Chain A
Amino acid sequence: MMLNSAQAVSDVTKEVGNAIELQGIKKHFYDKDENIIQVIKDITLEIKNKEFISIVGPSGCGKSTMFNIIAGLMQPTEGKVKVLGEDIVSSTGHVGYMMQKDLLFPWRTIIENVSLGLEVKGMTKKEREDIALDYLAKYGLADFAHAYPSTLSGGMRQRVALIRTLAMDPEIILLDEPFSALDYQTRLVLEEEILGILRDFGKTAVLITHDIGEAIAMSDRIAVMTQRPTCVKKIYDVGLAVELGSGMKARADHRYNDFFENIWADLDIQIGRDS
């Protein structure tokens, strides 16, 4: 059943070619005094099926807002969003969204947190706990399966949130700074893991990160955003990880530094303007 429906969805996306299409997206909020806060000026972006794209941009420019719109949690003020070829009205569960905060449910044990999405899908307890345990074992968290989140470190919690997103087996994965609370080594290991999973299962991934190196090491493309109100400033075609087979090799490649300098320059100007 599960496989069939996933198959059906990917057939649709093959025809369309784009996993996500943002057309002329604008978004503003109102503050307490009813003043308009323009957050997204205009984003038009096509994210191809099975692509890995990273979004880098200054803090507070509207990256998480863009994710909320793609996930169907927020309506854009103007513009059109298509996910897997369909207009998005509300969330469907096809998009796995790992939010910026490691949002674990404090009243659920780790294994219950990981199996949350599967529970919503209506899987039986046995099925979902088997899947969750597999993932937990793989990421060295099996010992903590029955602990409550409050007893885990920040890095561990972030890993649990990541596992929860992966365990859902979504077509598209949105990762909002998923590695920010991890130490450098774990980060590198997890980057490789994620790349492996995405490659093996043919997923589309969008990653928000402040770490330019991470974006270069993992992405097919990188979109650099401007200061708020934001739009796409530049798109880089990278693809080192796919070409060379791993993020590690991408980091060692001579083109890595060129990308780094260019992207840094793009961002640097904006930080300069900010202060």
Chain B
Amino acid sequence: MEMVQIEKVSKDSVNKAKKKLSPFIIHNLSRLGIIITLLAVWELAAFLKWINPFLLGSPSGIWDETVRLIQSGQLYTDMFATVYGTILGFVIGSLLGSAIGLLLWYSKTLATIIDPFVVALNGLPKIALAPMIIIWFGSGMFSKIILASIATFIVALLSAYQGTHQIDSNLVNLMKSLGSSKGQIFKKVVIPSSLPWIISAFRLNIGFALIAVIGGEFISSDKGLGRMIFVAGNLFNLNVVWVGVLSLMAVAIILYVIVSKMENRLIPWEDSKRQKEN
């Protein structure tokens, strides 16, 4: 049995090495090629005045602004503010929402009672609350965290609650036949079996949190990438707008990757299922 396993492992890694290396290089080289070509055409067009660099910006202009904003420390300050507000709001909203969604499993009555409220809140674009939240909590970081928490809370709650409805009733019966209490069933069946739903809400929520924070920063704030983009836009400083947008893109990608990595950590059994199917 062991022999077979060892053979399988080494075969897999050989396959991986063979398969991964060449397409990996080809794909990335092609991507790099596309980006370089695009930037070169853009720069040339701006230089020859085919396009108006004042309205579109130019790669060299963006580069100059990036260097300036990094040296002055402003890019770091703004990026940190946005990331900090997003992560904190995401964590608070998602965890609180998931916990309450799960706990609703205990009381069907309570769940039924609050159901229409949840649905109503879910339909509301959360950014509509931004002016109010900013009036109540000021234009600093705190109001952005609150906004992001609200934006993620309901999605997390609904998702977790839905998860508790997908539980295999046979598993609950099995737990009962072992003589377990409701608390044990909650801990050993309800939570783990809802986890894939909760995690899938996390992936949506990281995006929602970012939208909420940026939206809040647009409306009123003293720092943040949203503010940077908004202010530069009003001044028609397109190169700075580009720096803001590209930084935001980088932030979004990094946060998304982190949450996806978390997924593999938190639900490893789904991973081994996928591996078997492949």
CA distance A54 to B268 in the complex (A): 40
- Whether B1 lies near A143 (C-beta < 8 A) is yes
- Whether A99 lies near B273 (C-beta < 8 A) is no
- Whether A72 lies near B192 (C-beta < 8 A) is no
Contacts of A73 in B (CB 8 A): 173, 176-177
CA distance A101 to B173 in the complex (A): 12
Interface of B (DSSP majority class)? helix
CA distance A91 to B172 in the complex (A): 12
Instruction: Output the least CB separation between A171 and chain B (Å).
Output: 12
Assess whether B11 is interfacial by the CB under 8 Å rule: no
Say yes or no: A72-B176 contact (C-beta < 8 A), given A106-B273, A147-B272, A150-B273. yes
- Whether A120 lies near B176 (C-beta < 8 A) is no
CA distance A117 to B272 in the complex (A): 24
- Whether B195 lies near A117 (C-beta < 8 A) is no
For A92, A94, A150, which residue has the most chain B Cβ atoms within 10 angstroms? Answer: A150
Choice from A72, A94, A97, A103 contacting B171 with Cβ under 8 Å: A103
Contacts of A117 in B (CB 8 A): 178
- Whether B276 lies near A151 (C-beta < 8 A) is yes
Count A interface residues, CB 8 Å.
30
Assess whether B170 is interfacial by the CB under 8 Å rule: yes
Choice from B178, B193, B273 contacting A168 with Cβ under 8 Å: B178
Assess whether A229 is interfacial by the CB under 8 Å rule: no
Assess whether B184 is interfacial by the CB under 8 Å rule: yes
Contacts of B195 in A (CB 8 A): 107
Q: Report B244-278 CB contacts with A as 1/0, cut-off 8 Å.
A: 00000000000000000000000111001101100
CA distance A117 to B273 in the complex (A): 24
- Whether B1 lies near A120 (C-beta < 8 A) is no
Assess whether B165 is interfacial by the CB under 8 Å rule: no
Instruction: Output the least CB separation between A7 and chain B (Å).
Output: 19
For B177, B269, B272, which residue has the most chain A Cβ atoms within 10 angstroms? Answer: B177
Q: Looking at chain B, what size class is its interface with the partner chain?
A: 20 to 34
CA distance A143 to B174 in the complex (A): 26
CA distance A41 to B150 in the complex (A): 56
Interface of A (DSSP majority class)? loop
Assess whether B180 is interfacial by the CB under 8 Å rule: yes
Q: Report B165-190 CB contacts with A as 1/0, cut-off 8 Å.
A: 00010110111111110001000110
Say yes or no: A103-B269 contact (C-beta < 8 A), given A92-B179, A120-B180. no
Q: Which of A135-161 contact B (CB under 8 A)?
A: 143, 147-148, 150-151
- Whether B188 lies near A93 (C-beta < 8 A) is no
CA distance A71 to B178 in the complex (A): 9
CA distance A59 to B224 in the complex (A): 67
Instruction: Output the least CB separation between B174 and chain A (Å).
Output: 5
CA distance A190 to B59 in the complex (A): 73
Choice from A97, A148, A168 contacting B268 with Cβ under 8 Å: A148
Contacts of B193 in A (CB 8 A): 107
CA distance A90 to B192 in the complex (A): 25
CA distance A43 to B272 in the complex (A): 45
Say yes or no: A101-B268 contact (C-beta < 8 A), given A107-B195, A116-B188. no
Choice from A121, A143, A151 contacting B272 with Cβ under 8 Å: A151
For A91, A119, A151, which residue has the most chain B Cβ atoms within 10 angstroms? Answer: A91
- Whether A103 lies near B177 (C-beta < 8 A) is no
Assess whether A53 is interfacial by the CB under 8 Å rule: no
Contacts of B1 in A (CB 8 A): 143
CA distance A120 to B182 in the complex (A): 11
Instruction: Output the least CB separation between A152 and chain B (Å).
Output: 10
For B2, B5, B170, B189, which residue has the most chain A Cβ atoms within 10 angstroms? Answer: B170
CA distance A128 to B177 in the complex (A): 18
CA distance A99 to B178 in the complex (A): 12
Chain A residue with Cβ nearest B175:
A120
- Whether A95 lies near B177 (C-beta < 8 A) is yes
Contacts of B178 in A (CB 8 A): 91, 93, 116-117, 120, 168
Choice from B170, B174, B177, B269 contacting A150 with Cβ under 8 Å: B269
Q: Which of A68-87 contact B (CB under 8 A)?
A: 68, 71-73
Could you jot down 24 A-B contacts, CB within 8 Å? A72-B176, A73-B173, A73-B176, A73-B177, A93-B177, A93-B179, A97-B177, A99-B170, A99-B173, A103-B168, A103-B170, A103-B171, A105-B189, A107-B193, A108-B269, A120-B179, A120-B188, A143-B5, A147-B272, A148-B268, A150-B269, A150-B276, A151-B276, A168-B178
Kindly list the 9 A-B residue pairs having the minimum CB-CB distance in the complex, ordered from nearest.
A93-B179, A107-B192, A150-B273, A97-B177, A120-B180, A148-B272, A148-B269, A120-B178, A117-B178
Hey, which bits of chain B sit against chain A, CB under 8 A? 1-2, 5, 168, 170-171, 173-180, 184, 188-189, 192-193, 195, 267-269, 272-273, 275-276
Given pairs A93-B177, A96-B177, 16 additional interface contacts (CB within 8 A): A73-B173, A91-B176, A91-B179, A94-B179, A97-B174, A101-B170, A103-B170, A105-B188, A105-B189, A107-B195, A107-B267, A108-B192, A120-B180, A120-B188, A148-B268, A151-B272
